[in-house]
Amino acid sequence: MNKKDSFFVGLMLFSMFFGAGNLIFPPFLGMGAGTSFWPAIIGFILTGVGLPLIVLIAIARVKDGVNTLGSRVHPWFGIIFTIVVYLSIGPFFGIPRNANVAFEMGVKPFLGNTSFNQSVLLFGFSLLFFLLVYLLSLNPTKIVDYMGRIITPVLLVSIVVLCVTGFIKLDQPLKSPTENYQSASLFRGFIDGYSTMDALAALAFGIVILTTLKQKGVQDKKKLTQYTIKAGFVAGTALALVYVVIGFLGAKMAGYGTFENGTAILSKASTILLGNAGKVLLGGIFTLACFTTCVGLTIACGQYFSKIAPKVSYRVVVTLTTLVSFLIANLGLNEIISVSVPFLVMAYPLTIVLVTLAFFHRFFKGSHKVYAGAMLLTGIVSLYDGLQMFGLKWSFIAPFMKSLPLAAVGLGWVIPAIAGGVVGFIAEKVSRSSSPIEKAETKEG
Nearest to 194 by CA among 353, 87, 378, 346: 346
In a shared domain, residues 215 and 328:
yes
Ranges of residues in the chain with a pLDDT under 50 are: 441-445
Does 350 reside within a domain? no
φ, ψ at 2 (rounded to 5°): -90, 175
Report the C-alpha gap between 190 and 86 in whole angstroms. 23
The length of the chain in residues reads 445
Q: Rounded to the nearest 5 degrees, what angle is found at the Cα of 361, between the Cα atoms of 437 and 70?
A: 100
Per DSSP, the residues of 422-436 read HHHHHHHHHHHHT-H
Exposure b/e, 398-408, CB count within 10 A at least 16 = b: eeebeebeebe
In a shared domain, residues 280 and 369:
no
Does 412 reside within a domain? yes
In a shared domain, residues 159 and 42:
yes
Decide which of 334, 351, 379 is a domain's last residue: 334
In a shared domain, residues 326 and 262:
yes
pLDDT of residue 442: 46
Asked if residues 72 and 366 have their Cβ atoms less than 8 Å apart, the reply is yes
Does 31 reside within a domain? yes
Does 64 reside within a domain? yes
In a shared domain, residues 329 and 366:
no
In a shared domain, residues 235 and 124:
yes
Report the C-alpha gap between 314 and 316 in whole angstroms. 5
In a shared domain, residues 167 and 285:
yes
Report the C-alpha gap between 429 and 445 in whole angstroms. 18
pLDDT of residue 116: 66
In a shared domain, residues 52 and 109:
yes
Q: Which residue range(s) make up the domain with 418?
A: 360-445
Does 387 reside within a domain? yes
Measured between its terminal Cα atoms, the distance across the chain in Å is 50
Q: Count up the domains in the chain and report the number.
A: 2
Does 70 reside within a domain? yes
Decide which of 290, 316, 334 is a domain's last residue: 334
Question: What is the CATH number for 129?
Answer: 1.20.1740.10
Nearest to 179 by CA among 27, 24, 45, 33: 33
Position 257, amino acid? G
Exposure b/e, 249-277, CB count within 10 A at least 16 = b: bbbbbbeeeebebbbbbbbebbeebbeee
Does 341 reside within a domain? no
Q: How many CB atoms lie within 10 A of CB 180?
A: 16
In a shared domain, residues 385 and 329:
no
pLDDT of residue 444: 46
**Range 255-260 contact pairs with CB under 8 angstroms and sequence separation of 24 or more:** 255/170, 255/172, 255/173, 255/175, 256/170, 256/172, 259/28, 259/31
In a shared domain, residues 263 and 387:
no
**Element of type H or E holding 341:** helix 333-359
In a shared domain, residues 11 and 120:
yes
Does 319 reside within a domain? yes
In a shared domain, residues 155 and 243:
yes
